[in-house]
């Protein structure tokens, strides 16, 4: 499977799973193999698409990841922007195109679901 076609999501049992995204009726599932009979039900609000890129530690970068950018204070959340059809980074009151940075320069430090406290800014 190519990385850019992967999704990840928290399952009903709160465990993260990575694979292909499938819809059956109004429910979403992650399957780890194409055409697999066994699929795991995903929590829709936690679905993240893979960018197909890797960070400086060779970790895949996903939608909803929290990213540290060299030379910038604070962290940025990686979001999909429907209007421009591209990934953007939100943080410190800024919205920056993700393609302004080399993926190998940034570091994934968490995600919005498990590490939301990283995005809270002390005033």
Helix and strand numbers, DSSP H then E, in the chain: 0, 11
**Cα separation, 90 vs 112, whole angstroms:** 12
Please tell me what DSSP assigns to residue 43. P
| pLDDT, tens only, 38-93 | 789 999 999 999 999 999 999 999 999 999 998 888 899 999 999 999 999 999 88
Q: Please tell me whether residue 59 adopts helix, strand or coil conformation.
A: coil
pTM tops 0.85, yes or no: yes
CA-nearest of 7, 119, 13, 3 to 63 is 7
């Amino acid at each position: 499977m190519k990385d850019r076609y992967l999704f990840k999501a928290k399952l009903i049992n709160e465990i993260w799973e990575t694979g292909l995204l499938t819809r059956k009726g109004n429910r979403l599932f992650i399957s780890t193999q194409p055409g697999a009979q066994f699929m795991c039900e995903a929590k829709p609000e936690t679905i993240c698409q893979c960018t197909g890129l890797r960070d400086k530690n060779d970790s895949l970068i996903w939608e909803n990841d929290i990213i540290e950018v060299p030379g910038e204070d604070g962290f940025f959340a990686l979001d999909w922007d429907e209007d421009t059809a591209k990934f953007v980074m939100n943080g410190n009151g800024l919205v920056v195109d993700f393609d302004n940075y080399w993926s190998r320069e940034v570091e994934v430090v968490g995600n919005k679901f498990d590490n939301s406290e990283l995005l809270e800014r002390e005033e």
